[in-house]
Amino acid sequence: MPVQLVRNDITKIHCDAIVNAANSSLLGGGGVDGAIHRAAGRELLKECMTLGGCKTGQAKVTGGYKLPCRYVIHTVGPKWRGGNDGERQLLESCYRESLRLAEEKGCESVAFPLISSGIYGYPKDQALRVAMDVISEFVMEHDMLVYLVMFDKASCQIGEKLFSDIQAYIDDNYVALHTDVNYEMMREVQESQLFWTEDEASWKGQQSEMENDESMIPRPAAMFSCPVQRQEEEEAQQDSSFRVMEKKSSASGFQRLKQRKEPDEETFDFVPMAAPSLEELVNQVDESFSQMLLRKIDEKEMTDVQCYKKANIDRKLFSKIRKDVHYKPSKTTAIAFAIALELPLEETKDMLMKAGFALSHSNKFDIIIEYFIKKQNYNIFEINEALFAFDQSLLG
Ligand code: AR6
């Protein structure tokens, strides 16, 4: 996927270029700068000495030497001075200039540390926001894999407000499902829904009767026949001049019919119809994940490129899905497309079902996805930051 948040030491990342959060002398220092120089060896310093320094917000490139990358892009982030001294613009420029150089050098992958967020004191949540904004905008237009490397847990702080909102949402939903009191509450809600799934009019009048009738213990809707229908069946069974038949009404459903018997007709109560053959059932297979995806892209008047970029999915994976009508994506890929298409919750669930998945309240990942969809926040990069902050798998 084009943007990956990873927790690692940047000197260990195998990619075309890594970015160094340097100072304007470019002659080494502490933090990530020190780690890069130590891992690359003295040859890196020698080359840096030929560069004549670098201004804040600018970037320069050297070889990678002993590092597992071809290039090191050195950029100088702004020192934090309270936020009103052009820090944001300078930090944006660090990311833009570094990405521009990476592209110029033909890099297909590049790894960034969270520039300025250490010794230079830029608040980590704001530094992450700037990094993600610039990088996500860039990958929309370019085919490059960009790693944003978080060294410590504190680096992946999303805004405090967002974090506590999501935490509260998880607590309300996740914890709810895991306490006896709420099991009871959910059971009641489910039961009350079951009563209203069939012919509402005929149910309403009989509700109080049903409450006193033990045989009316709620069961899943599919197991019910509506009381009026049941009564007819019972009458028909008692009255030998009628027969009750099951008529095939759809590929998998049967409808019960009451018919008057002919006087000399043999008596029988139920005439089971032949079940559809396996072949018939297989031929009625639903629209696949890939078909639904392509249909939705058309309906939303998006281009394929817009969709897979917005989904943080790389081009090769998208073309595999496009070519293979039966392609089974991973859950994170399927959700990424639902997010890119800005599907509401129910449609997201439909799309996931096509790939054999569901959303539930029994894991935090699903709850976080639901939180963002309900808020109609379809920014996949923000969702990934939140997932990362909660130690969950990322989308795309
Ligand atoms: N891999 C990935 N990230 C790291 C690593 C690592 N090995 N080490 C630290 N970080 P900083 P700055 C993170 O201080 O704020 C130097 O002395 C770290 O947790 O390295 O831009 C330069 O010479 C933090 O989130 O850079 C400058 O004088 C982020 O990298 C000055 O520090 C940046 O922290 C630059 O300060």
Q: What is the 3-state secondary structure (H, E, C) of the chain?
A: CCEEEEECCHHHCCCCEEEEEECCCCCCCCHHHHHHHHHHCHHHHHHHHCCCCCCECCEEEEECCCCCCCEEEEEECCCCCCCCCCHHHHHHHHHHHHHHHHHHCCCCEEEECCCCCCCCCCCHHHHHHHHHHHHHHHHHHCCCEEEEEECCHHHHCCCHHHHHHHHHHHHHHHHHHCCHHHHHHHHHHHHHHHCCCCCHHHHHCCHHHHHCCHHHCCCCHHHCCCHHHHHHHHHHHHCCCEEEEEEECCCCCEEEEEEECCCCCCCCCCCCCCCCCHHHHHHCCCCCHHHHHHHHHHHCCCCHHHHHHHCCCCHHHHHHHHHCCCCCCCHHHHHHHHHHCCCCHHHHHHHHHHCCCCCCCCCHHHHHHHHHHHCCCCCHHHHHHHHHHCCCCCCC
Question: pLDDT tens-digit profile of 45-73?
Answer: 999 999 999 999 999 999 999 999 999 99
Residue 213, sorted as left (phi over 0), alpha (psi -120 to 50) or beta, turns out to be beta
Is the pLDDT score of 42 beyond 60? yes
CA distances from 254 to 90, 222, 250, 273, 358 (A): 69, 12, 7, 8, 28
pLDDT tens profile 77-93: 999 999 999 999 999 99
* Rounded Cα gap, residues 390 and 360, in angstroms: 17
* 323 has a pLDDT exceeding 90: yes
Q: Please name the amino acid found at residue 172.
A: D
Place of tokens 């998208």: 318
Query: Which pLDDT value is given to residue 228?
Result: 40
Q: Give me the pLDDT at residue 310, please.
A: 95
Q: How confident is the model at residue 103 (pLDDT cuts 50, 70, 90)?
A: very high
- Among the listed residues 132, 65, 144, the one whose alpha carbon sits nearest the alpha carbon of residue 104: 144
* Residue 78 Cβ < 6 Å to ligand 1: no
Structure tokens at 201: 């009019």
Higher-confidence residue of 214 and 2: namely 2
Q: How far is the CA of 111 from the centre of ligand 1 (A)?
A: 13
Is 344 touching ligand 1 by the criterion CB < 6 Å?
A: no
What gap in Å lies between CA 98 and CA 19, rounded to an integer? 7
- Asked whether the predicted pLDDT for residue 102 surpasses 60, the reply is yes
Q: What is the mean pLDDT of residues 15-35?
A: 97
209 φ, ψ to 5°? Answer: -60, -45
Q: Is 213 exposed, middle or buried (0-12, 13-18, 19+ CB in 10 A)?
A: exposed
Taking residues 301-315, what's their average pLDDT? 95
pLDDT at 276 over 90: no
Q: Is 32 in the pocket of ligand 1 (CB under 6 A)?
A: yes
33 is catalytic: yes
Give mean pLDDT, residues 308-321.
Answer: 95
| Distance, CA of 145 to CA of 69 (rounded, Å) | 14
Q: What's the average model confidence in pLDDT over 182-210?
A: 45
Selected from 3.20.20.60, 3.30.70.270, 3.40.220.10, 3.40.50.1010, the CATH number assigned to the domain covering 3-157 reads: 3.40.220.10
**Is the pLDDT confidence value at 206 over 90?**
no
Domain range annotation of the chain: 3-157, 197-257, 278-389
Do residues 96 and 77 touch, judged by C-beta distance below 8 A? Answer: no
> For ligand 1, what atom is nearest to the CA of residue 35?
7
Ligand 1 centre distance from Cα of residue 115 (Å) = 7
Top mutation candidate among 150, 151, 156, 157 for ligand 1, by most atoms within 8 Å of CB: 151
Q: In DSSP terms, which residues pair with 4 in a beta bridge?
A: 147
Q: Which amino acid is at 248?
A: K
Cβ-based neighbours of 235, under 8 Å, separated by 6 or more: 242
Q: Is 39 in the pocket of ligand 1 (CB under 6 A)?
A: no
Higher pLDDT, 47 or 245: 47
Q: Give Cα 97 to chain centroid, integer Å.
A: 30
Residue 278 has a pLDDT of 76
pLDDT at 200 (0 to 100): 42
What is the C-alpha separation between 112 and 147, in angstroms, rounded?
6
Model confidence band, residue 266 (pLDDT cutoffs 50, 70, 90): low
At residue 219, the pLDDT reads 37
Going by pLDDT thresholds of 50, 70 and 90, the confidence category of residue 176 is low
Q: What is the percent of the chain where pLDDT is above 70?
A: 72
What's the gap in Å between 119 CA and the centre of ligand 1?
6
Q: Please give the share of the chain, as a percent, with pLDDT higher than 90.
A: 61
Q: Could you count the other beta carbons within 10 Å of the beta carbon of residue 39?
A: 19
Read off the pLDDT of each residue in 137-160 and give the average, rounded to a whole number.
Answer: 84
Q: Which of 16, 33, 125, 366 is catalytic?
A: 33
Whether ligand 1 lies within 6 angstroms of the CB of 123 is answered as no
Q: Is 48 in the pocket of ligand 1 (CB under 6 A)?
A: no
pLDDT in tens, 332-380: 999 999 999 999 999 999 999 999 999 999 899 999 999 999 999 999 9
Mean pLDDT of 14-18: 97
Please, which pLDDT band fits residue 171 given cuts at 50, 70 and 90? confident
CB 2 less than 6 A from any atom of ligand 1: no
Whether 329 shows a pLDDT value over 50: the answer reads yes
Q: Which of 5, 32, 157 to mutate to test the pocket of ligand 1 (most atoms within 8 A of CB)?
A: 32
Which residue is closest in CA terms to ligand 1's atom 33? 118
**206 CB-contact burial (10 Å; exposed 0-12 / middle 13-18 / buried 19+):** middle
Most confidently modeled range among 186-190, 233-237, 272-276: 272-276
Task: Give the closest residue (by CA) to ligand 1 atom 28.
Answer: 23
What is the pLDDT, as a whole number, of residue 282?
A: 66
Q: What's the confidence (pLDDT) of residue 232?
A: 47
Is 34's pLDDT higher than 90? Answer: yes
Rounded CA-CA distance 62/160 in Å is 38
Mean pLDDT of the chain: 81
Protein residue with least CA distance to atom 34, ligand 1: 118
pLDDT value at residue 227: 40
Answer whether 5 contacts ligand 1 (Cβ < 6 A): no
**Any atom of ligand 1 within 6 Å of the Cβ of 113:** yes
